[in-house]
Amino acid sequence: MVNSTLSYFLLSTYMLVGNLRYLYFMITAMLYIVIVVVNTSLLVVICVNRSLHEPMYLFLCSLFVNELYGSTGLFPFLLVQILSDVHTVSTSFCFLQIFCLYTYAHVEFCNLAVMSYDRYLAICCPLQYNSRMTSNKAVVFIIVLWLYSFVKFLITLSLNIRLTLCGNIINSLYCHNYLVVKLACSDTRVNNIYGIVGIVLTILVPLLPILFSYFQILKVCFSGCKQTRQKAVSTCTPHLASLLNFSFGCFFEIVQSRFDMSSIPSVLRIILSLYFLIIQPLLNPLMYGLQMSKIRNTCKHVCYKMLAGRRNRLNN
């Protein structure tokens, strides 16, 4: 059960919002609407078009669903808190948000790792690709990475809920696992040990297939012809951009939560803390939607059919 001596947390960073709350609310609302529209649109495009029911696009569906999942765990909460005069959150909801945002980050990294392996098979083993990466295998990969992420952070959550907390002020815009554990006045050795093991698993498990895949892809690029290199670049560019952007955002969030960043302007600290939760859900659909010709052409076809149907209705 949640510690009964502490019923709520106070999120102190919202004190910096001041008189600009309505401007921040409009910007946040527009960002959330754009994220929901673009990710949902690409999900619908892939689902309704049978020619896109291939492993690569199934992994993209998982990625887009995760963007919607993580954004929904953050943005509605931000919108309420920005307009609120009292920036408190119940203990139960705080732990729920921790679970949501941490599983979002872990699923994102694991999904990108599986996608790197898929790109390795497509570039390095093109003749065996259809047998080694089928749609059924892709679905199994997706189920496993989601279950692995959820189980891993359910354990983290169960350990944190049993802590005795002696403070309730969180210096963040949202509930943060590390900052909650810092408030504990009970023994946190088990939490710390599992936290270290968890960080290793979170980083190492996805990182190994990523490094292996790109090492093999680079070997093929250096030894292959110009056409092979061009194919590798066009295929891997969106994935690499997404991977580097996400790693960049997570790095700054980890650094900010563990070190004193008071010398950095408050607005910049806020932007950096939200970077991986805002830019990633915006970047992924744009990168993959613009880069992949099948998705791009399908979107054009769907838009053309919608416009043609509208013209017919107006003419009738």
- pTM, two decimals, is 0.88
Residue 303: per-residue pLDDT:
64
Say if residues 287 and 238 touch (Cβ distance below 8 Å). yes
Residue 33: per-residue pLDDT:
95
Q: Per-residue DSSP letters for 131-192?
A: HHS-HHHHHHHHHHHHHHHHHHHHHHHHHHHTSPBS--EE-SSS--HHHHHHTB-S--HHHH
Residue 313: per-residue pLDDT:
66
Residue 1: per-residue pLDDT:
40
Residue 138: per-residue pLDDT:
94
Residue 2: per-residue pLDDT:
46
- Low-confidence residues of the chain: pLDDT under 70: 1-5, 16-18, 224, 261-262, 290-316
Residue 70: per-residue pLDDT:
94
Tokens representing 194 are: 């599992």
Domains identified in the chain and CATH numbers: 8-308 (1.20.1070.10)
pLDDT tens column, 277-300: 888 999 888 888 766 666 666 666
Residue 315: per-residue pLDDT:
65
Residue 170: per-residue pLDDT:
87
Residue 26: per-residue pLDDT:
92
